[in-house]
Amino acid sequence: MRGWAGKLRRSKKGKNGSPNGSGSSGPALGRLYRLRRVAARKLGHWARCAGAGFLAGLGGLLTLPLGLLWGVWRLLTRHRDPLGGFAFPVRTAGRIWRFFFRRSKARHDKEAQADQLTLKVNNPRKDTDPVTGPSLTAGTTVLDGNNSKFAMAMRAAHSAYTGYSPRSMMEVAAEYAGLPNGIRAAAMAVQQMAVNSDQKYPCSKRAIAKLIEAYQRMVNAASRADNMVALFRGAHAFDIERIVAPRTNEWMWNVTPTGADAPEGAMFMPGRIESGCVLMAVLYRTFEPVHMMQVGSEFQGTAYGITALADCIHTLHQRTRDLYPVDDRVTDELGMLESMIRAARRRRRHGREAVPRGP
């Protein structure tokens, strides 16, 4: 029926002499289209809610015998909440209803948000006008990786670390210990982008393959960071022991005039790099693009975000080499980690030709 209606509408436009919808019937057809979309969206939501109610009632009926037996057993044993067993079918039905209702409501809201993008196409075959809409303002770059969510979050993590000066080697040890988790958090964000691009968005398979390559290289770098942390703790086991479990009047062995004011447990606190990457991964889970231009910006922003992570490790490497009394093997491992992260960024940059360029 939708196909027949489309053919009838196109035939009427052809008779009126306005094949691109710019005639007098354009606004009326636009309003009719919006009303039809709203009605279809509401009817779909109500139908899903009706199905959720049926499944909830069915689940309550199936658990009714168990609830009766449980309630009788609680009455006989004089449980402090004897009615909890009888209420088990009702609670089960409520859980089923809320689960499906929330999914339906989220789908309804996402479709409504997508319908707000009023894209105007003058001629599908010869379209040279820029795409405009509520989320794409005029005069801005459509595919701008610098303003992507991933790139901005990773730059915030870089700024938080570069503006921070550790007070003792225990805080430096916390930065080392948090590197594997931070790299894995950034890798999980890249993996989620690849999964969403494959399952939700009409993206090129080559672009998704490049994301997967970058994710695998970052996971390998996180494994290398685990070995680096173990190397650091083994090489400086005596130094760490003297701070974690000091002897009587341990300060007398201190070669500096005054000791650091950092707490002894700073080694077990989250590092600045780790905190920024984990916060980025948590916030990125709730990001849902509503337009393929936003998806393309996230694809381009992946390279900028990975570069920001590599810059964090580069700063840590430089500080370790120039300021911190650390074994040279740890310094070399940090240099290798930076090279591996930048290699993941290069693999992502080579896949830029596969970025989706339209819906």
Residue 204 sits in the same domain as residue 81: no
Residue 159 sits in the same domain as residue 108: no
262 pLDDT band, cuts 50/70/90, is: low
| E strand segments, the chain | none
Residue 187 sits in the same domain as residue 315: yes
Domain presence at residue 3:
no
Domain presence at residue 73:
yes
pLDDT tens digits, one per residue of 63-85: 999 888 888 888 888 787 778 78
SS3 (DSSP) at 140: coil
Domain presence at residue 167:
yes
Average pLDDT taken over every residue of the chain: 77
| HSE toward the beta carbon, residue 132, CA cutoff 13 A | 9
Residue 162 sits in the same domain as residue 303: yes
149 within 8 A of 286, measured Cβ to Cβ: no
Which candidate, 206, 208, 358, 202, places its Cα nearest to that of 293?
358
Domain presence at residue 2:
no
Task: Pick the more confident residue, 350 or 344.
Answer: 344
Cα three-residue angle 306-309-357, rounded to 5 degrees: 20
201 within 8 A of 295, measured Cβ to Cβ: yes
Domain presence at residue 284:
yes
Q: What is the pLDDT of residue 126?
A: 39
- Among the candidates 65, 94, 115, a domain finishes at 115
117 pLDDT band, cuts 50/70/90, is: low
> Residue 202 is which amino acid?
P
Residue 168 sits in the same domain as residue 235: yes
Residue 270 sits in the same domain as residue 180: yes
22, two tokens? 């710019």
Which candidate, 147, 156, 148, places its Cα nearest to that of 298?
148
Q: What is the pLDDT of residue 159?
A: 87
Count Cβ neighbours within 10 Å for each residue of 31-69 and write b for 16 or more, e otherwise. Answer: eeeeeeeeeebeeebeebbeebeeebeebbeebbeebee
pLDDT tens digits, one per residue of 269-291: 778 888 888 888 887 777 777 77
d(C-alpha 358, C-alpha 142), whole Å: 11
d(C-alpha 41, C-alpha 52), whole Å: 16
d(C-alpha 242, C-alpha 247), whole Å: 7
Q: At what angle do helices 292-322 and 205-235 cross, to 10 degrees?
A: 20
- CA dihedral (35, 40, 41, 46) in degrees, to 10, reads 130
Residue 97 sits in the same domain as residue 167: no
Whether 125 has a pLDDT exceeding 50, the answer reads: no
Domain presence at residue 127:
no
Residue 108 sits in the same domain as residue 170: no
Domain presence at residue 69:
yes
Q: What is the pLDDT of residue 27?
A: 57
Residue 80 sits in the same domain as residue 212: no
pLDDT tens digits, one per residue of 127-170: 344 434 444 443 344 566 777 888 888 888 888 888 888 878 88
Residue 280 sits in the same domain as residue 318: yes
Task: Pick the more confident residue, 10 or 272.
Answer: 272
Whether 25 has a pLDDT exceeding 60, the answer reads: no
pLDDT tens digits, one per residue of 175-197: 898 899 999 999 998 888 888 88
SS3 (DSSP) at 243: helix
Q: How many domains does the chain have?
A: 2
Residue 152 sits in the same domain as residue 287: yes
pLDDT tens digits, one per residue of 182-236: 999 999 988 888 888 888 888 888 888 888 898 999 999 999 999 999 999 899 8
Domain presence at residue 310:
yes
> Residue 333 is which amino acid?
E
Tokens 């430096």 map to which residue?
172
Residue 192 sits in the same domain as residue 238: yes
Region of 131 (left: φ > 0; alpha: ψ -120 to 50; beta: rest) is beta
% of the chain residues with pLDDT over 90: 16
Q: Global pTM?
A: 0.56
d(C-alpha 26, C-alpha 7), whole Å: 16
Q: At what angle do helices 205-235 and 169-199 cross, to 10 degrees?
A: 160
- Segments forming the whole domain that contains residue 101: 25-115
Other beta carbons within 10 angstroms of residue 152's beta carbon come to 15
